[in-house]
Structure 1
Amino acid sequence: MASKTVEHVLFPGIDVRVERVSDSSGSLVVEAVSTARPGRCPDCRKQARRVHSSYQRTLTERPLGSRQVMVRLRVHRYFCDRRSCSRRTFVQQVGGLTERHRRSSVGLTDWLRAIAVELGGRPAARLCHRLRLAAGRTRLLRLLKAPAVPDRAPQVLGVDEFAFRKGCTYGTVLVDVEAGRVVDVLPDRTSETFAAWLAGHPGAEIICRDRATAYTKAVKEAAPDALEVADRWHLLQNLSAAVEKTCHQHRNCLRKHTEEEVAKTVMDVPEPQPMLLPPAELPRTQIIERTRHRYEGVHRLLEKGWTISAIARRLNLDRKTVRRFRDTDLDQMLASARDRRPNGVLEPLKAYLNARFTEAQGQASGIRLFLEIRERGYQGSRQVVRKHLAALRAGTAEPVRADIPSPRKITSWIMRPRDTLTESQEERLLQIRLACPDITRACDLARASPIWYVTSADTCCRSGSARQSRTRRSR
């Protein structure tokens, strides 16, 4: 009765008989015997009748709880009695448990294959290690099999490039848009390879691609009757890029509006008497020194008559960077480098500290100011406050930067469906719209676009995990 219970738990619906279960080095060892009927010859499919011999196979089974399971299964080897068959003997296979030339059970193999499909090589190997499944990345990748490519292309074919290694090697993924599945993967992104694939797989009536013209030549050569359309993801990406560009251009409007709001907030502090501070100087930080050094190097080579490309190669810079150093004043470059310094935990309270420092005519106690800003939510160290006060006395303190969201964050608030924004995000977006009419106009135009409405409705209907799963499968 106990053995039947073990068989029901470990091998449900499988023709085996459990003879013994033992514990060996923290693993369960199950000794079983096959009770399946004699199988058929894998070559001629003739039913076996005579037993040649028997031997014991060792299989790795799915873990039971936190313990690994090892199956020692005794199976038969049979004769093939058909004289015309080249095979003399063959091994019995137990349905649902064993496969030829495999040392893991069918259930464990299915588990490993599913993990490899979702995660790939190294991430899947790390998960298997956590789940106590003995499988390396090479073994997992060997379980993956490329699906059969149909002879004809789907009616609506999607084509896009992807990176095997970003910046180095790229490929092309072909997708059946109507079925939502990958059709084939090409080893590169050249028009010649795509044209050869279209010539060998006719039938595409609509080809959905991005707005680049890399694949247009291949379509005109191999499928001239196909209709080329731009997919909505790339249209939405282009719309987002236009909105983000507008937010970049009008960042000064947001900074001015925020500085006015900060000034109103600090008005509750008594009006300090004017205090003469030393003239402000730029702090000698690494990014400022690097900017000054690059500016001098670019202009020194320009005076010698060097071209933009030659300077870029000599200084190991991009040509756009060289042009920016050529066309921009040094003071503006240094100010931009100073603004790129990251905000710290003291940044939201610098306006209050500066006002209190000026009120005390430079004689403010650092400990007292530290305790005051602690009551206002400061969670940093006293050393940071001491350094800022020292910079105020020396005249090298940086101006208080306005707390404004980045253009990319503003773009995400505009492009996302309204019901997915939190109350604080909606309030920040409303303040931005009030601060800059041009960003307000860009927001209204983006949300009035048909592609925004279609994508927003589609986003509400699908979960993010489903989209990520499709992306991983397409890669």
Structure 2
Amino acid sequence: MQTKSKWSPGPGAKVLGVALTDDDSWVVSAAGPAFGICPDCGRRTRNRHGWSNRSLQDLPVQGKAVTVKLRLSRWRCAHQNCERQTFSDRLPTIASPYARRTRRVAEIVGLLGHSAGGRPGERLMRRLGMPVSDDTILRQLKRDVALADCDATIRVVGIDDWSWRRSWRYGTVIVDLERRSVVDILDDRSVASAARWLKRHPSVEIVSRDRCGLYAQAAREGAPQARQVADRFHLMQNLRVAIEEQMSLSGRATGRALLPDKIIGSAQVDLIQDDPHVDATHRLRVRHAHRQSRQVVFDTVHALRNEGLSCSEIARRTGYGRRSIAKWLTFETPPDRRRSALKPTSPLYFEAFLAECWKDGNRCGRHLFHDIKQRGYTGSFSNLERLLASWRRAERSVKDSASPAPINPHHPNRDAVIPISDPETGHVISPVVAAALCIKPRGMLTINQASKVDVLKQGSHAFALMRSLAMRFRGILRSGESSKLDIWIDDAVSSGLSPMVRFARVLHRDIDAVRNAIELPWSNGQTEGQINRLKTIKRAMYGKAGTELLRARMLPLINNHHHTN
């Protein structure tokens, strides 16, 4: 049989009795200490003024709920000059003032709220014999976060964005990379909010970020003393995207692979012209060739079907997906591509106004940007400049159409439009696969991947040049020495490949952060991991909870709680 001391809710309380009630729960009767200590003067007293009763929820026993009926005394202070005349017993080791459960139960409530949330925590607490509502769990969780010590010295932080609703609403997560824990969650993605946070923490010495210019500007404004570090993973990803864009100039695994030789030849002659504005007309010619190829592809697919071939066999021969083949066979003519609805983020939304200004001679990008901003444009200046640049190139191409430039067989894009097939399957190698293989070292390639790389290098001068640049860039990132970075940027610019030139120029604009990424060990990997955790918690809450609760569950637990519920 258990003794009464085993039932004690904590030091300072004396157990008077234990009883099992009719509703199959335990009730522990206890009393406070036999004397009181004044919280002001610290003197003991036995002069009792009155009594008070508290009912506290305690840990369960054998799966049954336990309630502690605690009787406390109210004392009179024995010191005549003490300002406090009466005071009540305070047992901080058992429960906080005005609390309805003991500290050990409150700690479990906080742990479950932090790890499981409201509804799951409520179900689990009820099964354990400590029934607590989900609202109580969430209130305590938010209260614990409010009591957290945010004055800890933070030296290295990682900043990145997260999407509460993709392409609609974003927030910012800030991670202490030294302690590998989240320090704050901001409910927006703006320069002002990130800069304000950095200003409140002047101890920050290093800011690790991705290639987003927003956080770079926030770091310059909020922490000018800090060194910015560009994330190495995003550097490689940006390089992969540039390679993919260059390989896309040859066309995806689409109808260009099935074009007649005369169509390919004419397009190739157009693209290999050593025109200083060859990139200006390149996209227009590629789009025109693609429109021509859709009809050729459509006729080829239907011809193979008429021969009695299955969709799988047609897909194997043409390199298309089986679902695409099945969809095209249901049409009598090639289906038109659907153009998405224009939004104020696109300059084409204001195309009529821009065209009128262009016709009137107003062609300054900054002036037009200011004008459409007043009309509700929410996009970037660079997006507008891309549209205006296409209009300028179109005008130049009209002027130069009468005198075409001679053909240069040594142009880097001279074989860009020739599709390259996989030697194993015969399918056209897509730009995505080619870009992924281009940045992968030879030692990490499988036998099949190595054969693809060899075929791409033999069939595309641009791919061979980009792979050489990619391997050099990868080696620079891993070497820890940034002295060769300037030479690499010059070589990338002199390569003549437009996507690689843009990538190199962007690197040069952010050169200090890139150098720090090479020389310093910090990266945004821990921040990306915390974002994955944030997504898991957000989806478990079905996206209905607010940023306050998400922040409470993302921040680390506090060791010493002062629960007040």
- Describe the superposition over 1:236-292 as per-residue Cα deviations: whole angstroms up to 9, x where unpaired: 766787899999999969xx9xxxxxxxxxxxxxxxxxx964998999879978x98
Between 215-224 and 87-96, report the one with greater CA deviation: 87-96
Between 105-114 and 66-75, report the one with greater CA deviation: 66-75
CA distance, structure 2, for counterparts of residue 465 and residue 175 of structure 1: 10
User: Aligned residue for 2:188?
Assistant: 188
Match of 1:25 among 6, 23, 26: 23
CA distance, structure 2, for counterparts of residue 165 and residue 136 of structure 1: 29
CA distance, structure 1, for counterparts of residue 13 and residue 214 of structure 2: 57
For 1:432-451, what aligned pairs fall within 5 Å after superposition?
433-434=450-451, 437=454
CA distance, structure 2, for counterparts of residue 243 and residue 197 of structure 1: 37
CA distance, structure 1, for counterparts of residue 329 and residue 46 of structure 2: 83
- Describe the superposition over 1:341-398 as per-residue Cα deviations: whole angstroms up to 9, x where unpaired: xxxxxxxxxxxxxxxxxxxxxxxxxxxxxxxxxxxxxxxxxxxxxxxxxxxxxxxxxx
For 1:5-404, what aligned pairs fall within 5 Å after superposition?
7-8=5-6, 11=9, 15-26=13-24, 28-36=25-33, 38-42=35-39, 47-81=44-78, 88-143=85-140, 144-146=144-146, 147-150=148-151, 154-164=154-164, 166-231=166-231, 234=234, 277=308, 295=337, 298=339, 309=349
- Describe the superposition over 1:39-71 as per-residue Cα deviations: whole angstroms up to 9, x where unpaired: 544566554432222233211112334322222
Amino acid at match of 1:473: M
- Describe the superposition over 1:151-191 as per-residue Cα deviations: whole angstroms up to 9, x where unpaired: 8x623232233345555443333333223333344443321
CA distance, structure 1, for counterparts of residue 164 and residue 45 of structure 2: 49
CA contact (8 A) 1:18 1:30 kept: no
Q: Give the aligned CA root-mean-square deviation in angstroms.
A: 5.7
CA contact (8 A) 1:41 1:47 kept: yes
Residue 211 of structure 1: CA displacement?
Answer: 1.6
CA distance, structure 1, for counterparts of residue 334 and residue 83 of structure 2: 81
CA contact (8 A) 2:77 2:87 kept: yes
CA distance, structure 1, for counterparts of residue 246 and residue 63 of structure 2: 56
CA contact (8 A) 2:48 2:76 kept: yes
CA distance, structure 1, for counterparts of residue 477 and residue 127 of structure 2: 43
CA contact (8 A) 2:51 2:72 kept: yes
CA contact (8 A) 1:125 1:135 kept: yes
CA contact (8 A) 2:56 2:68 kept: yes
CA contact (8 A) 2:157 2:207 kept: yes
CA distance, structure 1, for counterparts of residue 14 and residue 127 of structure 2: 30
Residue 29 of structure 1: CA displacement?
Answer: 1.7
CA contact (8 A) 2:9 2:68 kept: no
Between 200-209 and 108-117, report the one with greater CA deviation: 200-209
Amino acid at match of 1:67: K
Amino acid at match of 1:161: D
Sort the Cα spacing of 1:103 and 1:240 in 2 relative to 1 into closer, same or farther, 3 A.
farther
Residue 116 of structure 1: CA displacement?
Answer: 2.0
Amino acid at match of 2:99: R
User: Aligned residue for 1:365?
Assistant: none
CA contact (8 A) 2:174 2:185 kept: yes
Sort the Cα spacing of 1:127 and 1:430 in 2 relative to 1 into closer, same or farther, 3 A.
farther
CA contact (8 A) 1:58 1:73 kept: yes
Q: Which has the higher contact order (CA 8 A, sep 6+)?
A: 2
CA distance, structure 1, for counterparts of residue 122 and residue 241 of structure 2: 38
- Describe the superposition over 1:124-156 as per-residue Cα deviations: whole angstroms up to 9, x where unpaired: 4454345444233332222232322228x6232
Structure 2: 5+ residue stretches without partners: 258-305, 315-323, 352-382, 384-426, 458-462, 481-521, 536-552, 557-565
Sort the Cα spacing of 1:9 and 1:453 in 2 relative to 1 into closer, same or farther, 3 A.
farther
CA contact (8 A) 2:182 2:530 kept: no
Sort the Cα spacing of 1:236 and 1:145 in 2 relative to 1 into closer, same or farther, 3 A.
farther
Residue 201 of structure 1: CA displacement?
Answer: 3.0
Give secondary structure in 1 for the equivalent of 2:106: helix
Sort the Cα spacing of 1:15 and 1:162 in 2 relative to 1 into closer, same or farther, 3 A.
same
User: Aligned residue for 1:369?
Assistant: none
CA distance, structure 2, for counterparts of residue 127 and residue 446 of structure 1: 55
Sort the Cα spacing of 1:199 and 1:132 in 2 relative to 1 into closer, same or farther, 3 A.
same
- TM-score, scaled to structure 2: 0.45
CA contact (8 A) 1:243 1:446 kept: no
CA contact (8 A) 1:210 1:231 kept: yes
Sort the Cα spacing of 1:220 and 1:95 in 2 relative to 1 into closer, same or farther, 3 A.
closer
Amino acid at match of 1:103: R
Give secondary structure in 1 for the equivalent of 2:211: coil
Give secondary structure in 2 for the equivalent of 1:215: helix
Give secondary structure in 2 for the equivalent of 1:71: strand
User: Aligned residue for 2:412?
Assistant: none
Sort the Cα spacing of 1:70 and 1:139 in 2 relative to 1 into closer, same or farther, 3 A.
same
CA distance, structure 1, for counterparts of residue 236 and residue 453 of structure 2: 23
Give secondary structure in 1 for the equivalent of 2:105: helix
Residue 103 of structure 1: CA displacement?
Answer: 0.6
Residue 79 of structure 1: CA displacement?
Answer: 2.8
CA distance, structure 1, for counterparts of residue 87 and residue 125 of structure 2: 33
Sort the Cα spacing of 1:284 and 1:211 in 2 relative to 1 into closer, same or farther, 3 A.
closer
Sort the Cα spacing of 1:2 and 1:194 in 2 relative to 1 into closer, same or farther, 3 A.
closer
CA distance, structure 1, for counterparts of residue 117 and residue 179 of structure 2: 23
CA contact (8 A) 1:98 1:105 kept: yes
Amino acid at match of 1:149: C
Amino acid at match of 1:227: R
- TM-score, scaled to structure 1: 0.53
CA contact (8 A) 2:8 2:15 kept: no
Give secondary structure in 2 for the equivalent of 1:62: strand
CA distance, structure 2, for counterparts of residue 450 and residue 66 of structure 1: 62
Give secondary structure in 2 for the equivalent of 1:145: helix
CA distance, structure 2, for counterparts of residue 70 and residue 287 of structure 1: 73
CA contact (8 A) 2:198 2:222 kept: yes
User: Aligned residue for 2:554?
Assistant: 473
Sort the Cα spacing of 1:132 and 1:250 in 2 relative to 1 into closer, same or farther, 3 A.
farther
Residue 104 of structure 1: CA displacement?
Answer: 0.8
